[in-house]
Structure 1
Amino acid sequence: MKIAIDCADLDSSRIDGTRIYIKNVLNYLGDLAPQDDFWLFHRKEFNPVLKPKIFSNYQNRKIPYPFLWTQTKFAFELLQLRPAIVWMPIQQIPLLTAGKIKIVFTAHDLAFKIFPKSFKLSDRKKLNFFIDSAVRRADGIIAVSQSTKKDLLRFFPLLEEEKIKVIYHGFDAQQFCQKFSQEEINKNLNKYNLIKDQREVRFLLYVGALQPRKNLPLLIEAFEEIKGKKGLGDLRLVLVGAPAWLAEETLRKVRNSVFSQDIILTGEVDFSVLTLLYRKAKLLVFPSLYEGFGLPILEGWASETPVLVADNSSLKEIGGMAVEKFSTFSKKDLADKVEKLLADESLRKDLVIKGKKALENFSWKKCAEETLEFLKIIAQKND
């Protein structure tokens, strides 16, 4: 069977959850189905950090084109190839091929419909156009959580539920098993001002883009409140991730904070440094207003770090009983929960144990297996 896949996102210099998802699924598909041919289409060279394993049954097709690549050059290549199925791991499909070649796309989240003011108008219009057309014309849809499936059915009431398959993400077990020398630990912690008087300082960790939906101003305000408490003056807040769209409010909040010197903006970091920061953090705090999945939850569990999330969307679904939750819009509740977790070592240990147990339900291999199975079901389905 010929399976075509849009891999163009793996050419990007920016690393995000969607691109980690694409790379890791591709790291397994070829091995899972050696009898099938996978055609990997992209525009330029893969970002070395995002480059997937290339199996003998992978046809790596780099096809440069300057304009509307997905809707033009990629669509033309598909019409020439005539694969049994096309997998679009993004929320867009090549419209010229709809009805002629079977297509499955992955729906990651509908944040732009739920929190439209968190997006630029031009981006919102584009995202709405592509998801609306993809939902109407795709033969199957992968939703990354029950929450995302629920949102699809809410915004597209004519969508048949049977067209949707929920497939969870996984995590990179090898990455989170890394060993670090004391020299590496000291070097990286010193770089981010996380050592004082030759001792490691306690810090809260956030991982993700800096953009309005991530609810970071609330986290900064809660951090300021916590810092005033007895015994917590040494605490720091580390925000790992690059500024994304409409990040100015968050950056201004950091600059204007009375504790700005204790709020560390790392920008993007490599996976090794990220793993170290996860492992050394006292808590992972994920305060988003909305997520389609919430990959940092798994990464926190894999790092044996207790996780605190906002009580909404997929965060409560994926986190379940293995995370502590706070009321999404309440600075007081967030500050209280952070203070409670920092003070209660037995509670932190309990969350770590529960997180390790919950992690058994997630793997990239399982994600790839279920993705392949769904692609084949749709490919073989009679119209």
Structure 2
Amino acid sequence: MRIGLNLLYLIPGIVGGTETYARGLLRGLRQIKPDHEFFLFVNRESDRLIADDDPDFSKVVCPVYAVNRKNRYHFEQIRLRRYVKQYKIDLLHSLAYTSPIFLSGPSIVSIPDLNFKAFGNSMPLSRRLMLRLIVRQAVIRSNKVITISNFSREEILGQYPVPAEKVVVTHLAADNNEVMETKSDDEPGDQNLPALTLPYAMAFSSSTANKNLSGLIRAFLEAKKKHHILQKLVLIGHQYPVENDIQGSYGYKDIIWTGYLERRNVLEILKRADFMIYPSFYEGFGLPVLEAMTVGVPVICSHAASIPEVAGDAGIYFDPFSIKDMALCIARVAKNQLLRRELREKGFKNLDRFSWQQTAAQTVAVYDEVLQNNSFRHSREGRNPVLLKNR
């Protein structure tokens, strides 16, 4: 059967976790090689996502730029269904929140999380309202909804009037190939990497409210002042404004922002960290937790949302709303090398629960179920879906 993957949202290097999801799913599909033909509907920014002569996927470059959300939404809702018909797609899977509402054939939509509802106030009102409308219709009208954690599944079921069996979980995974491609510690460093003095802890810098950057900085400074930890804090990403009282605090000079880094360099810095801190209030999955474990870095993290589901027993948890609790956990791990070694080993074991091959296999099982149900429905109605499609 012909499966269409709607990747019109994907802007390489910009959309973050949903790009990782798409690339990981494609990698898993290559590994399991299901008995389906795959057509990737991409925008102009993503025309190099796969080669033109890729043996596993056919690429359809659509005349739209995703950077213009209004045009992309319009293309997806109005024009994409014509491409679906032209390429005789049996099932369309839209991988990021939205899908064509008035599609005539079977469809699946992936809803990684409901962050636009939980922390949507940072979005422009027009975009927030548009997402609320389109995502709701996508959830209701699609044959199945795929999400990436049991936490997100419960969120979706709590927000939309759909039966429980309609929402399916397929966990994400870390990319072990990326780790294997990074240099060993004794190889010469990348000249573009910032000069970092060991020891340090690391985290990701972000301006979005759910990432809890301000809380992390305050907790680190408290751990410095009250518990006298040796580690600096390396924040991967751009520097964002922080409150004035933070800038003058004891230990602030030990906070280092790297600025934007290429993916390879992110992993180089991550794997040299004593531990990673993941302080989010809200996540649909929490992929950096697995990425840290892949390179043998201990994780201390928030006990909120999906994060415990991902970290399992391999993380040290704190209350992200409590600066004191965060600081205590940071100090506990920073000062205990034996604990860090134990967390490292637990992290490696935790990774066994996740793989892109498993994600792909579970996704294909959803495809097969929807296609079988659609074929059964047509047969009961006295119609042959193959003949109908070729009219």
- TM-score tier by shorter-chain length is 0.7 to 0.9
Displacement of 1:167: 0.5
What displacement does 1:242 show? 4.9
Give the counterpart letter for 2:151 in structure 1. Answer: S
- With over 3 angstroms needed to count, the CA separation of the structure-2 counterparts of 1:303 and 1:356, relative to structure 1, is same
> Does 2:82 align with 1:76?
yes
Residue of structure 2 in register with 1:139 after alignment: 143
Q: 1:217 aligns with which of 188, 192, 214?
A: 214
Q: Distance in 2 between matches of 1:375 and 1:217?
A: 42
Matched, 1:346 2:338: yes
The answer to whether the 8 Å contact 1:87/1:104 transfers is yes
Matched with 1:21 is 21
CA contact (8 A) 1:144 1:166 kept: yes
Task: Show the counterpart of 1:108.
Answer: 112
TM superposition shift of 1:313: 0.9
For structure 1, which segment, 357-366 or 80-89, has the greater mean C-alpha deviation from structure 2 after superposition?
80-89
Whether 1:121 aligns to 2:120 is no
Tell me how far 1:366 sits from its aligned partner: 1.1
Report the CA distance between 1:41 and its aligned residue.
0.7
Determine if contact 1:11/1:47 at 8 Å carries over to the other structure.
Answer: no
Q: Which of 139, 152, 159 is residue 155 of structure 1 equivalent to?
A: 159
Question: C-alpha distance in 1, partners of 2:34/2:301?
Answer: 40
The correspondence for 1:172, drawn from 161, 175, 190, is: 175
Residue 230 of structure 1 and its aligned partner are, at CA, apart by: 6.0
The letter for the 2-side match of 1:213 is: N
Give the Cα separation in 1 of the matches to 2:248 and 2:6. 43
Q: What does the per-residue CA deviation read over 1:162-211, in whole Å, with 9 as the maximum and x for residues that have no partner?
A: 111111001111111233354533746xx43412xxxxx22221136431
Q: 1:164 to 1:40 in 2, by over 3 A?
A: same
Match of 2:32 in 1: 32
Does residue 318 of the first structure (1) align with residue 302 of the second (2)?
A: no
How far off its partner does 1:368 sit? 1.1
Contact 1:144 1:167 in 2 (8 A): yes
Structure 1 length-normalised TM: 0.88
Structure-to-structure mapping, 1:202-213, within 5 angstroms: 202-207=199-204, 209-213=206-210
Residue 22 of structure 2 aligns with an amino acid whose one-letter code is I
Counterpart for residue 372 of structure 1 = 364
The code of the aligned residue for 2:152 comes to T
Q: Which amino acid aligns with 1:84?
A: D
How far 1:8 moved relative to its partner? Answer: 2.6
| Cα pair distance change 1:36/1:220, threshold 3 Å | same
Question: Structure 1 residues 52 and 242, CA, compared in 2 at 3 Å: closer, same or farther?
Answer: farther
Alpha-carbon distance in structure 2 between the residues aligned to 1:280 and 1:136 = 46
1:108 & 1:34 partners in 2: Cα distance?
Answer: 23
Aligned pair in 2 of structure 1 residues 277, 85: CA closer, same or farther (>3 Å)?
Answer: same
Identity %: 27
Structure 1 residues 76-102: Cα deviation after superposition (integer angstroms, max 9, x where no partner): 2113333111111110011231xx111
Q: What's the counterpart of residue 61 of structure 1? A: 60
3-state SS of paired residue (2:138)? helix
Change (3 A) 1:357 1:320: same
Shift, 1:355, TM fit: 0.9
- Runs of 4 or more, structure 1, over 6 Å off, are 251-254
Give the SS at the match of 1:72.
helix
For residues 239 and 51 of structure 1, what CA distance do their matches in structure 2 show? Answer: 32
Number of residues paired by the alignment? Answer: 367
Indicate how the Cα distance of structure 1 residues 16 and 251 shifts in structure 2: closer, same or farther if over 3 A, else same. farther
What are the residue-to-residue correspondences of 1:327-366 with 2, within 5 Å? 327-366=319-358
Does structure 1 retain, via aligned residues, the 8 Å contact 2:52–2:58? Answer: no
Larger Rg computed on CA atoms = 2
Structure 1 residues 103-130: Cα deviation after superposition (integer angstroms, max 9, x where no partner): 1111111122223434332332122122
TM-score by length of 2: 0.86
Moved more, 72-81 or 332-341: 72-81
Q: 1:260 to 1:193 in 2, by over 3 A?
A: farther
Compute the displacement of 1:19 (Å).
0.3
Asked if 1:241 is matched to 2:230, the reply is no
1:146-167: CA deviations, max 9, x gaps? 00001011112x2111111111
Going from structure 1 to structure 2, the CA distance change for 1:273 and 1:47 (only over 3 Å counts) comes to farther
Distance 1:252 1:269 in 2: 27
Number of the residue aligned with 1:198: none
SS at 1:228 equivalent: helix
Q: Does 1:265 align with 2:262?
A: no
Do 2:225 and 2:251's aligned partners in 1 also have CA atoms closer than 8 Å? no
Structure 2 CA distance for partners of 1:337 and 1:230, relative to 1, 3 Å: closer
Deviation of residue 13 (structure 1)? 4.1
In 1: Cα distance, 2:369 partner to 2:148 partner:
18
The amino acid that maps onto 1:165 is: V
* 1:255, distance to aligned residue in structure 2 (A): 5.4
* CA shift in 2, pair 1:4/1:169, >3 Å: same
Q: Is the 8 A contact 1:212 1:250 kept in 2?
A: no
Q: Which amino acid aligns with 1:90?
A: A
